Structure 1
């Protein structure tokens, strides 16, 4: 019997925004990410359900390795107390290379902001498929930008 090879890569990103703020954007205001990081994420749309609910289906148009890619994902689980959201990829470019792909984002409060832990869980289509380090890099950059956006001073006139 073929053993499924679930692998993972992960990273921690320190941001100045609170864990609650980051989770709120990632979970409830996902569509705003395209406004915050237009250079990385072109659009985030909802297909089924509502923002911030388990089982809702969203699609991301994003720039990865110089190409516009699409990822359709189901919000698999949301843990508000742990500021954690799991996205399972159900369609799109990633599934050309991976049998399964999941993004797990969790923000943990720290004294000066929070630490966002990203875990990318995946199963390769074949042994030639690269590990998704460039995608992990993208989620790290995106998290830093969201953190910076959330903590920028509000300019009042």
Structure 2
């Protein structure tokens, strides 16, 4: 009998010094800027269809994960600019070699000082249930978030 695959979620919060508006603006409207902030982690971000920060737009990421160069092609599945929330759904790339589906969900919450970036990775394991949960991918997302935050507070956009 075939194993039933299910959606799994990994989540974490990253404390930011930058405002929710500043941080969300980079991930939503200036996604390509991330490769300038931390080129050793994200080599490039390109748009293929649509416009930055627009639902339905397709972007690709060239990034380094666990010491390996990787590629991800994603569609911006949803964007809620009022509530600083967006979802990137993976269409193609290294992640889909191990997972049937993979989404990155970002929600940034304003705080009295700074903000909190809440990242959720939602994924469905493929044929091989022995594939480890993507804890190192979640760590990469946190590290990139911290780099973007550090850049924003030293050189406001």
TM class, shorter-length:
over 0.9
Residue 73 of structure 1 aligns to a residue whose secondary structure is strand
3-state SS of the aligned residue for 1:24? Answer: helix
Q: Distance in 2 between matches of 1:141 and 1:2?
A: 34
Deviation at 1:81?
A: 1.2
TM norm structure 2? 0.95
| Matched residues, number | 154
Q: What is the match of residue 129 of structure 2?
A: 127
1:112 Cα deviation from its structure 2 partner: 1.2
Provide the rounded CA distance (Å) in 2 between the counterparts of 1:2 and 1:129: 14
CA distances 1:89-122 after superposition (whole Å, capped 9, x unpaired): 0000000000000000111001110000000000
Return the TM-score normalized by structure 1. 0.95
Q: Which residue of 1 aligns with 2:74?
A: 73
Q: Which residue of 2 aligns with 1:51?
A: 52
What residue ranges of structure 1 are gaps of 5+ in the alignment?
A: none
Q: Which consecutive segments of 4 or more residues in structure 1 shift more than 6 A?
A: none
* 1:35 aligned partner: 36
1:82 corresponding residue in structure 2: 83
1:6 matched residue in structure 2: 7
Report SS of the residue matched to 1:26: helix
Q: Secondary structure at the match of 2:60?
A: strand
CA distance in 2, matches of 1:41, 1:90: 18
Per-residue deviation, 1:2: 6.2
